[in-house]
């Protein structure tokens, strides 16, 4: 009996040990198990770190700090004027060099076309829009769509009016453009010292372009005192901004109007001393009218943009000056603004007071214009690489 009891105790102990070992899942690992477990832990940690790094990179690519690239829409008003071709091509080249994909469209000076093109840019997934508007008051509805889609907007050279979707404005100092044109006239006619009177006519641009207000305002602020003194006289009587406007900045429209002025007020031999033309396309229309209908001494003729045809006219003595707005400078600044916006930062600006689009003052960056004439065009335009000598032959 004692042997049987002893055997029962031993069997019970053995069974309990086996149960403990089975439930523990190997509480005392083998040597092989001891070396494999740490390796598995290190591998898992490395994999987790790699996944975290990939996630951080994806976050940056989706709009975090350090983002590069993305789709940018650039909307230009027309290819009919040389300056917009240059603005568009410079903008595209600068943005692509910075790593962006660019959807560039020209709207043929048709508002409905520009609206449609911007709608397409939004649906194509453009993350930011750079827009030189045809008519600053005509984009409210489509820009509301952009705002709803989270697409920010930079108004380029022409301020877009009455839309709270406009985040920034990039342009040249357009008031200074007008001032420089006015100051050139003062110096050319020596108005500070001469009694006059000198006969002047005025040609500005499209009434839907907000820049006209600044071109005209800057020039007239300089010239109005001489008009008041009687040193400057406008025989046509056409002085008010609406009376001197040129739809679409059209050369043909400017030429037609100026031919009428010449035949009505200068056909009797009255001397025309100066024409304040706000830009080169209108100045070209004036020059064409003068060539066909005027025999007096050639007047002082201003302009803006340094278009090839107008620089050739300056060299030939058929235009006195043109404001040079180096679009390469403006394009570079816009790229800086795009980079900042795409990284969730504030874009660089240097004016937060001047440009109110009806919904508030739009933070702006203003590049400084300079004037070119027959004396300095080579240094400004050729030596800088903007044109070649052959372009101006």
Q: Which is it for strands 321-324 and 71-76: parallel, antiparallel or unpaired? A: unpaired
Specify the pLDDT at position 17. 39
Q: Are residues 191 and 314 in the same domain?
A: yes
Give the structural domain span for 122. Answer: 71-172+326-362
212, 124: one domain:
no
What is the percentage of the chain residues whose pLDDT exceeds 90? 79
What is the tally of structural domains in the chain? 2
d(CA 179, CA 159): 19
Q: Where are the alpha helices (DSSP H) in the chain?
A: 2-23, 31-61, 82-97, 111-123, 140-148, 174-189, 211-229, 251-265, 280-293, 308-315, 327-342, 377
Helix (H) or strand (E) holding 241: none
Tens digit of each residue's pLDDT (9 = 90 or more) over 94-126: 999 999 999 999 999 999 999 999 999 999 999
- Give domain status of residue 1, yes or no: no
Please give the structure tokens belonging to residue 303.
């302009």
**pTM of the predicted protein model:** 0.77
Residues 186 and 116 placed together within one structural domain of the fold: no
Same domain, 220 and 350: no
Nearest-angstrom CA–CA distance, 73 and 167: 15
Q: Are 156 and 87 in contact (CB under 8 A)?
A: yes
Domain membership flag for residue 136: yes
Concatenating the DSSP letter of every residue in 271-311 gives PP-EEEESSHHHHHHHHHHHHHH--SPPPEE--BS--HHHH
pLDDT band at residue 68 using 50, 70 and 90 as cut-offs: low
Are 125 and 234 within one domain?
A: no
Q: Computed from CA positions of residues 284, 288, 294, 297, in that sequence, does the dihedral angle turn out positive or negative?
A: positive
Q: Are residues 279 and 195 located together in one domain of the fold?
A: yes
Element (H, E) at 101: strand 101-106
Query: 167 and 196: one domain?
Result: no
CA–CA dist 327, 13 (Å, integer)? 94
Listed residues 324, 346, 380: the one ending a domain: 324
State yes or no: pLDDT of 359 exceeds 50. Answer: yes
Three-class secondary structure of residue 234 per DSSP: coil
**343 and 318 both lie in a single domain:** no
Report the candidate in 239, 211, 222 with the shortest Cα–Cα distance to residue 188: 222
pLDDT digits over 364-384, tens only? 999 999 999 999 999 999 999
Closest by alpha carbon to 74, among 111, 112, 127, 110?
127
In angstroms and rounded to an integer, the radius of gyration of the C-alpha atoms of the chain is 35
Cα 301 to Cα 265: distance, rounded to the nearest angstrom? 18
The residue count of the chain comes to 393
SS3 318: coil
Are 138 and 229 found together in one domain?
A: no
Q: What is the pLDDT of residue 81?
A: 85
- Asked if residue 198 and residue 309 are part of one domain, the reply reads yes
The reply to whether omega before 197 is within 30° of 0 (cis) is yes
Which of 298, 324, 350 is the endpoint of a domain?
324
Same domain, 261 and 341: no
Q: Does some domain include residue 257?
A: yes
> Does 278 share its domain with 318?
yes
pLDDT reported for residue 337: 96
Instruction: Report how far residue 203's alpha carbon sits from residue 331's, in angstroms, rounded to the nearest whole number.
Output: 28
- Which CATH number fits the domain that encloses residue 129? 3.40.50.2300
Phi and psi, residue 370, nearest 5°: -135, 165
Residue linked to tokens 């100066």:
274
65-74, 212-221, 280-289: range with lowest mean pLDDT: 65-74
pLDDT above 50: residue 210: yes
Q: Does residue 226 contact residue 191 with C-beta atoms inside 8 Å?
A: yes
- 166 token code pair: 């406009």
Q: Provide the token pair at 20.
A: 């403990």
Strand partners, 300: 274
239 near 198, Cβ under 8 Å? no
Instruction: Select the more confidently predicted residue: 62 or 189.
Output: 189
Above 60 in pLDDT, residue 244? Answer: yes
DSSP assignment of 198-221, as one string? EEEEEE---TT-THHHHHHHHHHH
Percent of the chain with pLDDT over 70: 83
């Amino acid at each position: 009996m004692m042997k049987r009891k002893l055997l029962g105790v031993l069997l019970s102990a053995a069974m309990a040990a086996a149960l403990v070992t089975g439930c523990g899942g190997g509480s005392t690992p083998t040597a092989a198990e001891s070396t494999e477990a740490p390796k598995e832990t290190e591998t898992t940690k490395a994999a987790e770190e790699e996944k975290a790094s990939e996630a951080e990179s994806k976050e940056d690519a989706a709009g975090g700090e350090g983002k590069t690239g993305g789709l940018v829409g650039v909307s230009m008003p027309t290819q009919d004027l040389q300056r917009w071709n240059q603005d568009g091509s410079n903008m595209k080249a600068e943005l692509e060099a910075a790593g962006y994909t660019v959807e560039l469209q020209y709207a043929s000076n048709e508002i409905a076309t520009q609206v449609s093109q911007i709608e397409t840019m939004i649906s194509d997934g453009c993350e930011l829009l750079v827009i030189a508007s045809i008519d600053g008051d005509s984009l409210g509805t489509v820009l509301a769509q952009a705002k709803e889609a989270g697409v920010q907007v930079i108004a380029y050279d022409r301020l877009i009016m009455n839309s709270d979707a406009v985040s920034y404005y990039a342009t040249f100092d357009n008031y200074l453009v007008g001032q420089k044109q006015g100051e050139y006239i003062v110096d050319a006619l020596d108005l500070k010292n001469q009694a006059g009177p000198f006969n002047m006519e005025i040609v500005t641009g499209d009434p839907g372009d907000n820049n006209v207000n600044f071109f005209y305002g800057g020039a007239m602020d300089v010239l109005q005192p001489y008009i008041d003194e009687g040193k400057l006289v406008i025989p046509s009587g056409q002085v008010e901004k609406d009376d001197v406007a040129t739809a679409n900045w059209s050369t043909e429209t400017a030429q037609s109007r100026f031919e009428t002025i010449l035949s009505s007020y200068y056909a009797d031999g009255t001397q025309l001393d100066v024409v304040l033309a706000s830009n080169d396309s209108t100045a070209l229309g004036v020059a064409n009218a003068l060539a066909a209908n005027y025999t007096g001494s050639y007047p002082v003729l201003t302009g803006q943009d340094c278009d090839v045809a107008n620089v050739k006219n300056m060299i030939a003595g058929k235009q006195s000056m043109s404001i040079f707005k180096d679009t390469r400078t403006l394009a570079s600044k816009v790229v800086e603004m795009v980079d900042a916006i795409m990284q969730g930062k504030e874009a660089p600006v240097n004016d937060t007071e001047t440009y109110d689009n009806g919904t508030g003052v739009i933070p702006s960056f203003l590049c400084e214009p300079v004037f070119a004439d027959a004396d300095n065009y080579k240094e400004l335009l050729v030596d800088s690489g903007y044109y070649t000598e052959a372009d101006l032959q």
